[in-house]
C-alpha cells in the first residue's frame, strides 16, 4: 500500500463509504491462505493502524481537560467521589479484540518467513510487537494488573478465559521485551514504511514510544512505593525503576542522535496546520478539507452550546517564563501578562493581538468570549482561526501530531535528570533547545543567572499528599512538560499519575476550584477593553460573552479571591483518593469472572 492510511481514509469518507476505522480487516482472512508474503504482512499491519491510530478527539480532547491546569463546568464523575465498580466499563469483549488481532498476526506470520527478506520479516514482527506494547500499556494505565495477550485464546479454553489477572511487573517485563525488539528491528524507511503522512509505525515511532513508556513506568515505580492494584510493595522480580529509566534515556538518546528530526520555529503551526510537519512530527494523523475528512475540535473549545467552559488556569499561565529566563508573577492583568513571555503562551492561550479570519476575508482581532471558558482565559492550541466557522461542528481539518520530537527531548532530559546524568551540555541539547525555540533565554539550574522559582516548588511539594525531594532540574523539566505538551493526549494527566500527584486535581486553589485571570481593583469597578469589547465582572448582571456574574462560592459560581477584586475563582470541588490511580475492575466483569479480583481500595465501593 503506497498511499498513506490517512489519505485512504479520506477517500473512503469522500465516497460516503462506511467508516474504515470500524471495519475488521485482515484477521478475517483464513490463516491457510493469508500471510503468504510481504504484501499480506503490510496489509494486515495497515489494518492495525486503521483500528488503533489515535484521532483528533484522543489527542486534542483527552484527559488533560480534567486536570489541575484546565477548568471546566462538568468534570468527570470519576472525580466527584461517587464513582463505583458498578459504573466501571472498558472490560468487555471489544476491549480485548485488538490484542487478539495482534496475537493472530504474530502466531500466523511465520508461514511467510522463508518468502521475505529477514529484515522485512523482522520489521513487521516489530510492528506487531509495538502494537502489543501499545494496547497493553493503554490497558495497564487504567487497570494496573491485567493481561498480556500473547496468544489467540480459544473460546473453549475456560482455564485461560477465567483466570486471574497477571502482575503489573510481569506485564511490563513482557512489554519491555516487545519494545526492545521493535526498536532493534523496525526499519526507519522503505517502501510502505515511511511517508510524508507520518502514519506508519517505523523505527523512530518505536524509539519515541519506548522513551515515553519507560519514563512513565520508571518514574511510577520510583514515586509509588506499592503496586496500586494490590497495595503491596513492588517485588523487584523483573526490571527496577532505574532499569526502566535507563532504557528511557537510551532510546530517547538514540532517536536524538539519529538526526532525523528537529524542532521547527512555528510552534502553533504544529497544531493548526492542514498537514503534519515532517521535521518535528514523528507520528501523526492527517485530516483534509478537500477530502472532507474533518473533526470537531475547534467547535468543542469555541462554542457556547457545546462547550464545557474549558479554560486554562492562572497556575498554567504562571508556568511560562519571561523571555529572560526568570519566573513570572501572578498578579498581572490578562491584558498585560503576555508581554515579554515565552512565545508558547500566546500560541496556546488567547492573547491580545490574535486575529481570526472571517468568511468575508477580513481578519479582525479575536476577542474573548466568556461563555466558552470558566477562567477568563481561552484555549487556542488546537483552535483553527482561519476559514473555520467557530460555531459549527466537524469543520476542522487541522492534522494531529501523536508523537513529536519535542516530547522525546523532554523524555531524554527527565530520564537523565532522574538518573543523575544531567549536565549543562545535555540541558542545552534538550530543554535549552525548546526554550530557545520559544524565545526564552535558556539557563541551566546551578549556573549563573538561574533564579529558583519558589512558587513552582511550593506547587509541587507544599501540602501535597506525597511530596518528593525534587532538584531544580526536575522542577524545571516539569515546568517544560506543561508549557510544551499540555492538551496533547493525556500528557498532563499521565504526568500527575506517574509522579504520585493526583491530589493536585482535588486541591486546586485551596480545594475550592480553578483560579483564573487577575482582576485589578480598577478593572473590578470599571472593566477593561479588549479587541473593541468591554469586559466586566458584576453581581447584578448575568454571565455573558463579556461579563462574569460574581455570586459567591457555591459550586458552579464565580467569586473574586480578594472579595472586591483579585483572581477570578470558578468554584468546583473535586475528590481524590489514592485508589484513583487506577480504575476499578467493572462489577459486570467480576460477575462473570470473580478470579479477576478488585483493585485495592475499590473493594468496598
Of 415, 128, 122, 401, the C-alpha closest to 251 is: 415
Phi and psi for 407 in degrees, rounded to 5?
Answer: -65, -40
Per-residue pLDDT of 244-294, as tens digits, reads 999 999 999 999 999 999 999 999 999 999 999 999 999 999 999 999 999
Give residue 195's pLDDT.
Answer: 61
What is the H or E stretch that residue 459 is in?
helix 454-461
Give residue 260's pLDDT.
Answer: 95
Q: What is the mean pLDDT of residues 338-343?
A: 98
Judge whether 143 and 602 are in contact, CB under 8 Å: no
**For the whole prediction, is pTM greater than 0.85?**
yes
The least confident of 60-64, 343-347, 578-582 is: 60-64
Per-residue pLDDT of 78-98, as tens digits, reads 999 899 999 998 888 778 889
Grid coordinates belonging to 353: 493581538
Q: Which residues of 248-260 are buried (b: 16+ CB within 10 A; e: fewer)?
A: bbbbbbbbbeeeb
Place of cell 538561574: 450
The least confident of 387-391, 438-442, 526-530, 536-540 is: 387-391
Q: Number of H helices and number of E strands within the chain?
A: 22, 12
Q: What is the mean pLDDT of residues 407-422?
A: 98
The Cα 433–Cα 441 span in angstroms is: 10
Do β-strands 232-233 and 226-227 pair in parallel, antiparallel, or remain unpaired? antiparallel
Asked whether residue 119 carries a pLDDT value surpassing 70, the answer given is yes
The least confident of 189-203, 236-250, 415-429, 530-544 is: 189-203
Task: Grade residue 68 by pLDDT with cuts at 50, 70 and 90.
Answer: very high
Grid coordinates belonging to 212: 515515553
Task: Grade residue 196 by pLDDT with cuts at 50, 70 and 90.
Answer: low
Amino acid at each position: 500500500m503506497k498511499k498513506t492510511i490517512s489519505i485512504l481514509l479520506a477517500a473512503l469518507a469522500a465516497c460516503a463509504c462506511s467508516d474504515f476505522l470500524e471495519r475488521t480487516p485482515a484477521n478475517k482472512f483464513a490463516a491457510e491462505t493469508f500471510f503468504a508474503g510481504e504484501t499480506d504482512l503490510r496489509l494486515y499491519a495497515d489494518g492495525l493502524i486503521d483500528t488503533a491510530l489515535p484521532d483528533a478527539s484522543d489527542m486534542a480532547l483527552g484527559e488533560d481537560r480534567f486536570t489541575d491546569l484546565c477548568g471546566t463546568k462538568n468534570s468527570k464523575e470519576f472525580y466527584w467521589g461517587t464513582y463505583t465498580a458498578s459504573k466501571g466499563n472498558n472490560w468487555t469483549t471489544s476491549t480485548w479484540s485488538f490484542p487478539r488481532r495482534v496475537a493472530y498476526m504474530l502466531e500466523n506470520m511465520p508461514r511467510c518467513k522463508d518468502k521475505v527478506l529477514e529484515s522485512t520479516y523482522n520489521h513487521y514482527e516489530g510492528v506487531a510487537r509495538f502494537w502489543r506494547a501499545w494496547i497493553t500499556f493503554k490497558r495497564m494505565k487504567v487497570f494496573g494488573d491485567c493481561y498480556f495477550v500473547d496468544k489467540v485464546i480459544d473460546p473453549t479454553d475456560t482455564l485461560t478465559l477465567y483466570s486471574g489477572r497477571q502482575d503489573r511487573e510481569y506485564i511490563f517485563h513482557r512489554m519491555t521485551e516487545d519494545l526492545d525488539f521493535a526498536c532493534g528491528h523496525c526499519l526507519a524507511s522503505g517502501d510502505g514504511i515511511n511517508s510524508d503522512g507520518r502514519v506508519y509505525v517505523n523505527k523512530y515511532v518505536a524509539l519515541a514510544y519506548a522513551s515515553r513508556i519507560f519514563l512513565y513506568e520508571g518514574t511510577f515505580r520510583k514515586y509509588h512505593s506499592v503496586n496500586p492494584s494490590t497495595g503491596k510493595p513492588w517485588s523487584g522480580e523483573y526490571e527496577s525503576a532505574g532499569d526502566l529509566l535507563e532504557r528511557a534515556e537510551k532510546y530517547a538518546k538514540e532517536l536524538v542522535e539519529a538526526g532525523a528530526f528537529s524542532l521547527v520555529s512555528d510552534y502553533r503551526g504544529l497544531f493548526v496546520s492542514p498537514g503534519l510537519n515532517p521535521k518535528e512530527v514523528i507520528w501523526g494523523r492527517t485530516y483534509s478539507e478537500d477530502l472532507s475528512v474533518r473533526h470537531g475540535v475547534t467547535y468543542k473549545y469555541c462554542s457556547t452550546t457545546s462547550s464545557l467552559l474549558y479554560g486554562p488556569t492562572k497556575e498554567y499561565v504562571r508556568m511560562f517564563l519571561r523571555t529572560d529566563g526568570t519566573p513570572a508573577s501572578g498578579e498581572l492583568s490578562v491584558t498585560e501578562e503576555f508581554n515579554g513571555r515565552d512565545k508558547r503562551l500566546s500560541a496556546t492561550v488567547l492573547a491580545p493581538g490574535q486575529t481570526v479570519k472571517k468568511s468575508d476575508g477580513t481578519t479582525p482581532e479575536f476577542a474573548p468570549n466568556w461563555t466558552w471558558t470558566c477562567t477568563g482565559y481561552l484555549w487556542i492550541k488546537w483552535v483553527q482561526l482561519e476559514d473555520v466557522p467557530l460555531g459549527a461542528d466537524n469543520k476542522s481539518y487541522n492534522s494531529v501530531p501523536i508523537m513529536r520530537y519535542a516530547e522525546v527531548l523532554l523524555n531524554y532530559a527527565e530520564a537523565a535528570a532522574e538518573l543523575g546524568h544531567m549536565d549543562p551540555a545535555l540541558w542545552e541539547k534538550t530543554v535549552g533547545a525548546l526554550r530557545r525555540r520559544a524565545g526564552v533565554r535558556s539557563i541551566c539550574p546551578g549556573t549563573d543567572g538561574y533564579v529558583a522559582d519558589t512558587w513552582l516548588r511550593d506547587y509541587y511539594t507544599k501540602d501535597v499528599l506525597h511530596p518528593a525531594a525534587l532538584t531544580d532540574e526536575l522542577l524545571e523539566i516539569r515546568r517544560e512538560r506543561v508549557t510544551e505538551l499540555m492538551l496533547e493526549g493525556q500528557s498532563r494527566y499521565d504526568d500527575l499519575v506517574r509522579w504520585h500527584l493526583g491530589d493536585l486535581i482535588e486541591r486546586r486553589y485551596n480545594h475550592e476550584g480553578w483560579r483564573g485571570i487577575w482582576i485589578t481593583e480598577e478593572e473590578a469597578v470599571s472593566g477593561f477593553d479588549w479587541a473593541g469589547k468591554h469586559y466586566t465582572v458584576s453581581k447584578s448582571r448575568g454571565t455573558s460573552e463579556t461579563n462574569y456574574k460574581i455570586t459567591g462560592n457555591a459550586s458552579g459560581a464565580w467569586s473574586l479571591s480578594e472579595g472586591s477584586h483579585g483572581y477570578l475563582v470558578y468554584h468546583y470541588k473535586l475528590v481524590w483518593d489514592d485508589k484513583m490511580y487506577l480504575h476499578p475492575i467493572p462489577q459486570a466483569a467480576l460477575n462473570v469472572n470473580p478470579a479477576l479480583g478488585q483493585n485495592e481500595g475499590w473493594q468496598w465501593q
